[in-house]
Amino acid sequence: MAINGVLYDWEGVEIQLPNGVAVGIEDISYSDERPIEPRYGKGSTPRGYGRKNYKGSGSMTLDKDEFERLRTAQGGSVYNGDPFPIVVAYAADGQSTVTDTLPDVKITKQDTSAKQDDDNAGQMKLDFEILSPIKWNGTAAL
């Protein structure tokens, strides 16, 4: 099998937050779901299904200085600001750029920890809910 060059890697990821392109970000993770519920009648097998509500959520870990810029952009508290979009673009040599948009993000939890000998003390982990369907490479989930 031939080696086809650089594929998507962290160096080719650009994450846009309300305060601009994030440079002090260690990770981001997001997902969505639309569960179904089997509907039964007579017998032991489903005769159809019902759709449950769409849900999107995620998390990211920011360096303290990046977190402070986000907090300031949100009016002083990551909980009080309006919902904001996060745009994640993946680029690789010779490949099309893949752009995911997480519209209407609201931070729901912030967490930090640091210990002696940490080379990056004071990182902030943020959990968030995504209040509108994720646009996976431009196509809305719903």
State how far the Cα of 85 lies from the Cα of 74, in Å rounded to an integer. 12
Q: pLDDT (tens digit, 9 = 90+) per residue, 55-114?
A: 999 999 999 999 999 999 999 999 999 999 999 999 887 788 999 999 999 999 999 977
Residue 78's nearest CA partner among 56, 110, 104 is 110
Question: Residue 40 domain-assigned?
Answer: no
Q: Is residue 3 part of a domain?
A: no
Q: Identify the H or E element spanning 12.
A: none
- Residue 84 in domain: yes
CA-closest candidate to residue 30, choices 95, 92, 86: 86
Asked whether residue 69 is domain-assigned, the answer is yes
80 domain residue, yes or no = yes
Instruction: Give residue 3's pLDDT.
Output: 59
Structural domain includes residue 39: no
Instruction: Give per-residue pLDDT as tens, 9-39.
Output: 888 899 999 999 999 999 999 999 999 999 9
Q: Give the other-Cβ count within 10 Å of 66's Cβ.
A: 22
Number of independent structural domains in the chain: 1
Full residue range of the structural domain in which residue 21 is found? 10-34+51-111+121-140
